[in-house]
Amino acid sequence: MSDTRPIGIFDSGVGGLTVFSEVEKALPGEEIVYFGDTARVPYGTKSKETITKFSVENVEFLMEHNVKLVLVACNTASSLSLDFLKRCFRVPIVGVIAPGARNAVDSTRNNRIGVVGTNATIISGAYEKAVKKISGRITVYSRSCPLFVPLVEEGWVDEKVTYEVASIYLKGLKSKGIDTLILGCTHYPLLKGVIKKFMGGKVVLVDSAREVAKEARFILDANGLLNKNPGRKRHKFFVSDEPGPFIRLGERFLKRKIKCVRTAV
Amino acid sequence: MSDTRPIGIFDSGVGGLTVFSEVEKALPGEEIVYFGDTARVPYGTKSKETITKFSVENVEFLMEHNVKLVLVACNTASSLSLDFLKRCFRVPIVGVIAPGARNAVDSTRNNRIGVVGTNATIISGAYEKAVKKISGRITVYSRSCPLFVPLVEEGWVDEKVTYEVASIYLKGLKSKGIDTLILGCTHYPLLKGVIKKFMGGKVVLVDSAREVAKEARFILDANGLLNKNPGRKRHKFFVSDEPGPFIRLGERFLKRKIKCVRTAV
C-alpha cells in the first residue's frame, strides 16, 4: 500500500521550517505542504481562544490540500490548541510538546529540566505537564523569553546584545542547576550559540523537530500511509502574507534556496 | 449645532493609547471609541496588502459604532493604507504621518530630520514624502528599529540592554547631525529616556499624538461636529484578542486605570 497524499505542517510563520527540514530528512519519500501564518504572526503573545481559532483555520487550509497527517510545528499552538484540534479533525495531528518532553526526559541525568518559550507557551505549562506525565521525579523550571523571536528575526543571532538578553532570561534557570534545556519555540535553535555560551557546554539543548519527524514516520508506517511512489517530490509552501520576508528569513532557517512560496487567501 | 457621535481611533494594539490620551486632553467634550487589533498585532512586519485589509476591517468596526471621525493612530497603517481608507469611506480619516512631519519641520533648525519606525513604515518612505511636501530643503534620514516594540512590551524601557539596542539603531542617524527625530511608532515615546540619552539633549524628539489631536479639533470645529453636550463622557475600548494584556500594558501607556475593555468578535 502506498499513500501519495502530502504531509501538512503549519506554523505561525517561518520557524516551523526547522520541523519541515527534519521531516524532509526522515521521510524523503513524502511530499510536504507547509503553511506559515505570516499575516497574523506571532502567536506567542496571544490568547488561547485566538490561537485556537487561527489553528483551526490553518488545519482547514491544509485539509484542502488533502493531507494525510498534520504536524503542528508551532510550540504555542501545540501547547494551547492541540487537544481541540484533535477533537475537531479526523486526520492524525501531532504537536511538538510531547516529542520535545520525551527528548528532554531521555537526556536529563540530574532530573532538572529547563524550558524556554513564548509567554503563551510558558503560561500554559504544557511542557511541564508533558514531562510530569513521563516521570514524576523530574523538576521543570520555566522562563518565557519574548525578545528571542524578534532578535532572531532581526538576524542578531550572535551579537553581544543578544548574549546580554539571554543572560537576563537564563540566569534563573542556570542557578537551578538544570542539565537539559528545552528550546520550546521553533526560532530558538538559531540562538543555540549564545544560549550554549551562557549556559555552559554541559547543558544539553533539546528541540522537538527531530523527534517530531520520527513520530511522523512511526504514524505513517504503522497506518500504511507511507508514500512508496518513487517519483520526484515537490513540496509546497504557503503563507498568509506576501512571500518576500518568509523567503528571506526561511533561507536562513533552511540554509538553502526556497522556491515557489505562494500567498494563500 | 452639536454632534454627540464619538471619535473612532484604531491601532494595531495598545500603542495608539498615546493618541487617545492627547485627544482626550484636547477634546474633553468628546467620547472616544478605541479599537486595538491585538489578535493580529504587530502590523510593522507585514505587507501593504495585509495592513490595508486589516485597516479596512478596523474602520468598518468603528463605523458600526457610528463614529464621526476616524484617527489612524498606527504609524504603519497611516503610512501604507491611509490613501486607500480615504477612498473607501465617507467619514473624515486622519493619519499620524502628516501631523508628525509638520511637527518635525517646525522643529528643525539645521534641516536634518531623522525618522525611526517599524520596517513597514520606514520602507514606505511615508514620513520622508510628507516632509518633502512641506519643504524641499530638508534632508530626511531613516532607520527601522524592529526591536523597540518588543522591548517596550517587555517593559524594558530603561535597561542597559535597551540603551545598547538604541545605540546600534541610532548611531547612523546621530552621525548625520540631525537636530530633530520623529518617533514614528506609537510605542517609541516610552523609550524617550534611552533615545534622548543616546542622541543627546539637543535633539528634539517629535511624536505625532499631540499634533493629531489638534488636527482632530480643527476638523470637528470647522465642520460643526463638536460635541457640546455637557454630560459625562464614557469612552469605549475594544480589542480583537482577550483584554488582559491590553489592560496591563495600556495602564503603563496611560498612567492610569483602564476599565471596560471588551473583545470585539
Average pLDDT, chain A: 96
B82-102: average pLDDT: 97
**DSSP type of residue B224:** T
All three cell numbers of A182: 528545552
Burial (CB count within 10 angstroms: exposed 0-12, middle 13-18, buried 19+), residue A232: exposed
The whole-angstrom separation of Cα B235 and Cα B254 is: 14
For residue A15, name the pLDDT band (cuts at 50, 70, 90).
very high
Query: Among all residues of A, which ones are annotated catalytic?
Result: 74, 185
Instruction: Kindly give the interhelix angle for B75-88 and B48-64, rounded to the nearest 10 degrees.
Output: 60
Q: What is the pLDDT of residue B259?
A: 86
> What is the average pLDDT across B246-256?
93
Give the pLDDT band of residue A138 (cuts 50, 70, 90). very high
The pLDDT assigned to B54 comes to 98
pLDDT score for B230: 85
Cβ of residue B4 closer than 8 Å to a chain A Cβ: no
Closest Cα to residue B185, out of B37, B75, B41, B57? Answer: B75
A129's CB contacts (< 8 A; 6+ apart) are: none
Contact B113, B135 (CB under 8 A): no
Give the pLDDT confidence of B221-250 residue by residue, as tens digits. 999 999 998 888 899 999 999 999 999 999
- Check the CA dihedral B237-B241-B247-B253 and report its sign: negative
**Cα-to-chain-centroid distance, residue B34:** 13
CA dist A226 and A4 (Å) reads 8
| Domain parsing of chain B, residue ranges | 7-95+210-263, 97-207
A139 pLDDT band, cuts 50/70/90, is very high
A residues 80-109 near B, CB within 8 Å?
none
Q: Is B64 helix (H, G, I), strand (E, B) or coil?
A: helix
Sheet arrangement for strand A180-184: A139-144, A112-117, A180-184, A204-206
Please report the pLDDT score of residue A230 as a whole number.
Answer: 85
Please give the Cα distance from A172 to B252 (Å, whole number): 26
Residue A37 grid cell: 501564518
SS (H, E, C) chain A: CCCCCCEEEEECCCCCHHHHHHHHHHCCCCCEEEEECCCCCCCCCCCHHHHHHHHHHHHHHHHHCCCCEEEECCHHHHHHHHHHHHHHCCCCEECCHHHHHHHHHHHCCCCEEEEEECHHHHHHCHHHHHHHHHCCCCEEEEEECCCHHHHHHHCCCCCHHHHHHHHHHHHHHHHCCCCEEEEECCCHHHHHHHHHHHHCCCCEEECCHHHHHHHHHHHHHHCCCCCCCCCCCCCEEEECCCCHHHHHHHHHHHCCCCCCEEECC
Give phi and psi for B183, each to the nearest 5: -85, 90
Which residue bears the cell 487617545? B20
Q: What's the pLDDT tens digit per position in A91-101?
A: 999 999 999 99
Measured between CA atoms, how close is A122 to chain B, in angstroms? 15
Domain B7-95+210-263 identical in fold to domain B97-207 = yes
Q: Helix (H, G, I), strand (E, B), or coil: what is residue B35?
A: strand
- Say yes or no: A152 contacts chain B, CB-CB below 8 A: no
What's the sign of the alpha-carbon dihedral B40, B46, B47, B48?
A: positive
Report residue B180 as a C-alpha cell: 530633530
User: Which residues are B204's β-sheet partners?
Assistant: B180
For the segment A201-207, the average pLDDT, to the nearest whole number, is 95
Q: Which amino acid is at A31?
A: E
Task: Give me the mean pLDDT over the B140-145 stretch.
Answer: 98
Per-residue pLDDT at B265: 73
pLDDT, residue B225, reads 96
**Rounded average pLDDT over B102-112:** 97
Q: Does position A1 have pLDDT exceeding 80, yes or no?
A: no
* pLDDT value of position A232: 87
Q: How many CB atoms lie within 10 A of CB B177?
A: 11
Query: What is the per-residue pLDDT for B181?
Result: 98
Q: Are B241 and A47 in contact (CB under 8 A)?
A: yes
Residue whose cell numbers read 489612524: B72
- Residue B210 sits at φ, ψ, to 5 deg, of -65, -40
Contact at CB, B241 and A168, closer than 8 angstroms: no
Could you tell me the CA-to-CA distances from A214 to A18, A25, A105, A230 in Å, in that order? 14, 10, 16, 21
Q: Which of B50, B240, B244 sits opposite A39 (nearest CB)?
A: B50
If one compares B252 and A8, the residue with the highest pLDDT of the two is A8
Cell, residue B37: 487589533
CA-based nearest residue to A144, from A216, A239, A79, A57: A79
Q: Mean pLDDT, to the nearest integer, of A61-73?
A: 98
Residue B196 cell numbers, joined:
534622548
> What contacts A261, CB < 8 A, 6 or more positions away?
A237, A238, A239, A243, A246, A247, A250
Q: How many CB atoms lie within 10 A of CB A134?
A: 14
* Mean pLDDT, chain B, integer: 96
pLDDT reported for residue A76: 98
- For position B91, what pLDDT does the model report? 97
Who among B46, B49, B150 is closest to A147 (CB)? B150
Residue of A112, A119, A115 lying closest to A128 (CA atoms): A115
φ, ψ at A195 (rounded to 5°): -65, -45
CA–CA distance from A261 to each of A62, A154, A239, A257, A258 (Å)? Answer: 15, 21, 7, 11, 7
CB distance B147–A147 less than 8 Å?
Answer: yes
Q: How far is B42 from chain A (nearest CA, A)?
A: 8
CATH class of A7-95+210-263: alpha beta
pLDDT of residue A231: 84
What pLDDT score was predicted for residue A67?
A: 98
Please list every residue in chain A whose beta carbon sits closer than 8 Å to the beta carbon of residue B242. 47, 49-50
Spatial distance between the Cα atoms of B43 and B52, rounded to a whole number of angstroms: 10
To the nearest whole angstrom, how far is the Cα of A54 from the nearest Cα of chain B?
A: 10
What percent of chain A shows pLDDT beyond 90? Answer: 95
Domain A97-207 classified CATH 3.40.50.300?
Answer: no
Instruction: Report the pLDDT value the prediction gives residue B1, as an integer from 0 to 100.
Output: 75
